[in-house]
C-alpha cells in the first residue's frame, strides 16, 4: 500500500520549459541580445547539460548558474557578464507560472487521500516564488528543495534527509512521480521507493528503468491502483 507520494516540480507539476523560454527571452532582450528561437533552444540545451552534470556531482550549483551563461555568451561572441545574466534570469524565472496539463486536478485528488511531498533540485529562491505564485504549497505536507537541504537528487542522501522529517516514513510504501529519469526515477531507485516516470513526449528510457511509465498525469491514478492492489 502506498502511504507517501513524492512529486517533482518542474515539468511534472509546473511547465518549466515554457517558463524557461519566457524567462530567457526576457533576459536576453534586456541584455540587448536578440532572443531568436535558435538562441533560446540552444540555451535550453546548455542549461539541461549543466543541470545533468550537477546531478552527477561534476559541477557545483554556482558553476551551473554561471557556466550556462558563460558557454552561451562565448558561442554568441558577446561580452556580457554571466553574473548579471544569472541575476536577471532568476528574477524573470521566479515571476509567474504555467501548469502542466492536469496538474491542478492531480494535486487536489491526491492531497485528499495521501500525504504529498515536493522534491525539487531547483534554485531555492526561484522555486519558492513559483510555488507561491501557483498557490500549491497547501497541498504538500513537506517541500524539499535541494539547495536548502545541501544535497541534490538523485543522491540517496537527499531522500534520507527528507525521510528524517516525515514521521513513520517507509520507502517501501512510497512512490515518486517525476519527468526526469536521471533525477527522479534514479533518485527513487536509490531511496528504495516505487518509481513512476512521467513521459508525455515518448522518450526512450535507456539504462534507467522506471517501475511505471505514464504519458499523462491522469494515468497516475491507475498506477496507484496497481500499487495498492486495487481493481482497475
Q: 11 catalytic, yes or no?
A: no
Residue 178's CATH number: 3.40.50.1000
Parent domain of 77:
16-93
Q: What is the pLDDT of residues 24-70, one digit of tens each?
A: 999 999 999 999 999 999 999 999 999 999 989 999 999 999 999 99
Q: For residues 173-187, give the mean pLDDT.
A: 97
Catalytic residue among 8, 10, 11, 179: 8
Q: What is the 3-state secondary structure (H, E, C) of the chain?
A: CCCEEEECCECCCECHHHHHHHHHHHHHHHCCCCCCHHHHHHHHHHHHHHHHHHHCCCCCHHHHHHHHHHHHHHHHCCCCCHHHHHHHHHHHHCCCCCECCCHHHHHHHHHCCCCEEEEECCCHHHHHHHHHHHCCHHHCCEEEEHHHHCCCCCCHHHHHHHHCCCCCCCHHHEEEEECCHHHHHHHHHHHCCEEEEECCCCCCCCCCCCCEEECCHHHHHHHHHHHCCCCC
Residues 31 and 106 in one domain: no
Q: What is the pLDDT of residues 44-55, one digit of tens each?
A: 999 999 999 998
Residues 147 and 158 in one domain: yes
pTM: 0.90
Q: For residues 143-171, give the mean pLDDT.
A: 96
Q: For residues 162-172, give the mean pLDDT.
A: 97
Amino acid at each position: 500500500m502506498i502511504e507517501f507520494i513524492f512529486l517533482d516540480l518542474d515539468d511534472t507539476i509546473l511547465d518549466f520549459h515554457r517558463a524557461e523560454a519566457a524567462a530567457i527571452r526576457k533576459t536576453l532582450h534586456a541584455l540587448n541580445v536578440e532572443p531568436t528561437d535558435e538562441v533560446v533552444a540552444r540555451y535550453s540545451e546548455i542549461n539541461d547539460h549543466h543541470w545533468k552534470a550537477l546531478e552527477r556531482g561534476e559541477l557545483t550549483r554556482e558553476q551551473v548558474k554561471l557556466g550556462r551563461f558563460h558557454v552561451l555568451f562565448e558561442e554568441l561572441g558577446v561580452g556580457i557578464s554571466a553574473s548579471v545574466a544569472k541575476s536577471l534570469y532568476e528574477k524573470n524565472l521566479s515571476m509567474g507560472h504555467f501548469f502542466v496539463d492536469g496538474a491542478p486536478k492531480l494535486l487536489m485528488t491526491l492531497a485528499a487521500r495521501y500525504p504529498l511531498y515536493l522534491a525539487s533540485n531547483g534554485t531555492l529562491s526561484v522555486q519558492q516564488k513559483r510555488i507561491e505564485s501557483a498557490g500549491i504549497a497547501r497541498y504538500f505536507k513537506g517541500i524539499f528543495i535541494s539547495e536548502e537541504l545541501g544535497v541534490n537528487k538523485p543522491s540517496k542522501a537527499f531522500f534520507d534527509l527528507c525521510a528524517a522529517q516525515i514521521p513513520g516514513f517507509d520507502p517501501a510504501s512510497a512512490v515518486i512521480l517525476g519527468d526526469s529519469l536521471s533525477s527522479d526515477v534514479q533518485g527513487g531507485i536509490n531511496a528504495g521507493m516505487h518509481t513512476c516516470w512521467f513521459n508525455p513526449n515518448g522518450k526512450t528510457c535507456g539504462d534507467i528503468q522506471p517501475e511505471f511509465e505514464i504519458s499523462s498525469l491522469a494515468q497516475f491514478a491507475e498506477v496507484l491502483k496497481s500499487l495498492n492492489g486495487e481493481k482497475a
